[in-house]
Structure 1
Amino acid sequence: MPDYLVRGPTAVIAALVAPLAVCAVLLPFRSNLANTSVALILVVVVVAAAALGHRLAGVLAAVSAAVWFDFFFTVPYQRLTITSSADITTAIVLLIVGLAVSQLAARARRLKVVTITDAEYLAQIHHAAHLAETATSPDAVVECVRVQLVSLLHLQGCRFEYGTLIGHSPRLQDDGSVTWGHRTWDVDRLGLPAQDTELRVVAGGHYHGRFLLKTTPGHLPPLQARLVAVTLADQAGAALQTTWKNAKATQ
């Protein structure tokens, strides 16, 4: 099933209906099942809803499970009333556990996304570093990094200028921050400035050029991506520095 359906309206509907369906299946065995066993089965349903859907789906499944548990499995039956203190405790625990596991499932999904993203970042850095070591021309490395920066930061465009320092452009610093003149630009809230942002390429104490980043309005590149961009620029700098040293050696 497509991801937008699994995590969209379908997930919400399934989260509401699944506990009711499970209760309907268990209802003929009500006299032989302890209420705690029913509650544990419903917790499994809530975990599945949270894991396959999203946080809201998990919360709705937890509430739905608690309601239908009360309606079908606590005395008086078919009423949203509980007279037994043990059943009250079970229903409350079912709701609390259901809400807790929905939060844990949401957190687990976020960690998975971060891990996948980190792997993609590392792959880009590895590719640029390998090219910097093996390419016969630094231009190939510069072009590779330029293309990577467009994808990494979701830019409208990017170009490289050799050995020029003109004007007072916003600058992407080594720590991932952006400065413009004497102030720090809030990238996390505003994104990159509308004016082209420079990412300087410096290696061995020598300035070799700069990438000029043309931002996409509305996109907020995260700090992690900005730090990777700085690392990629360092790989271009390493290739340019090697060429510069070789040229000096032949003079």
Structure 2
Amino acid sequence: MKLEEVLEARRGAVTAVALVVPFLACGVLAAAGRPLPDASAVVALALLIVAASATGLRPAGLAASVSSAVGFDYFLTKPYESLTIHDSEDVQVAVLLLLVGFAVNELALWGQRQRAELGRARGYLDGVMATAESVATPGGEPQRVIAAVAARLRDVLRLDSCEYHASTHLPGGPVLGRDGSVTRSGLTLDVDRSGLPIDEVILLPVHVGGRQRGYFTLTAASRVSRPSVQQRRVAVLLADQLSALLDTSTQDH
């Protein structure tokens, strides 16, 4: 079984559990004795919603929210074992339970996205530092450093390929600037929305002492890559590491 199929099966199983457990929990609470204080039931159901949201799967969190509201209505409000609610306060509790569940789910997902973004940013910085250390290593081979920088650029920008060309002439095409913008013929491309161009390579110049010594060709043809402006600036920093090596080699000669 492929990894994608395993993950899809896991997501389906987690969502199914999130849908069933709150409804059954309401049944257990009802069997324990009625009437049950609304506050106690809501707290118990909220904990189940938080647990489902913590999985990082939006369908699981939403399923737990809907299941909690329906289970609360069916088992814990009069008339019992019916989806009809006569008491306006019970209606408010059911609606609030549903809304709070949706809010908790979105907050949990937002927190996970923030942690993931921080983890990626740390990884990018670690990559820059590792490349800088390889440049600073005495006797470092230029080709090895160039290959390391190209590999980092492929990872940071999610590229298909990345190659370095030693040339004082920059051919035509989109250019990745130092501010992270991508321009073509003087016009700034909306990378955040449309992604990197897939019909032509992007050029990343490498300058030493204000003069161009070469450039990287960045290719993203097989899929749409939308690196953030922070990622694009990290790419420029990586290219700067190569310029430091080229500057050192020039001084040595």
Q: Give yes or no for TM over 0.5.
A: yes
Partner of 2:3: none
- Out of 63, 69, 74, the position equivalent to 2:77 is 74
Q: 1:232 aligns with which of 227, 238, 243?
A: 238
Of 195, 201, 204 in structure 2, the residue corresponding to residue 199 of structure 1 is 204
8 Å CA contact 1:55–1:105 kept in 2: the answer is no
Q: CA-to-partner distance for each residue in 1:13-44, whole Å, 9 max, x for gaps?
A: 22221211212322221337322201110111
Residues 202 and 209 in structure 1, CA contact (< 8 A), matched pair in contact too: yes
Q: Does 1:169 align with 2:167?
A: no
Q: CA deviation at 1:83?
A: 2.3
Give the drift of 1:139: 3.1
Partner of 1:27: 30
Deviates more, 1:24-33 or 1:171-180: 24-33
TM-score by length of 1: 0.89
Structure 1 position 127, deviation (Å): 0.6
Provide the C-alpha distance between the structure 2 equivalents of 1:135 and 1:151, rounded to a whole number of angstroms: 26
Deviation at 1:212, TM superposition (A): 1.2
Describe the shift of the 1:92–1:221 C-alpha distance in structure 2 as closer, same or farther (beyond 3 A): closer
SS in structure 1 of the partner of residue 54 of structure 2 = helix
- Paired residue for 2:185? 181
Output the CA distance in 1 between the equivalents of 2:76 and 2:206. 69
Partner Cα distance (1:3, 1:135) in 2:
46
Moved more, 179-188 or 205-214: 179-188
Percent of residue pairs identical = 36
Report the Cα offset of residue 53 of structure 1: 4.2
Pairwise CA distance, 1:185: 2.5
| In 2, Cα distance between equivalents of 1:213 and 1:148 | 12
Aligned residues: 245
Shift in Å, 1:111 = 1.0
Q: Distance in 1 between matches of 2:157 and 2:56?
A: 28
- TM-score normalised by structure 2 residue count: 0.88
Of 32, 36, 39 in structure 2, the residue corresponding to residue 36 of structure 1 is 39
| Structure 2 residue runs without a partner (length 5+) | 1-5
Alignment of 1:1-251 (within 5 A): 3-6=7-10, 8-31=11-34, 33-136=36-139, 137-188=141-192, 189-223=194-228, 224-247=230-253
**CA RMSD for the aligned pairs?**
2.0
5+ long unaligned stretches in structure 1: none
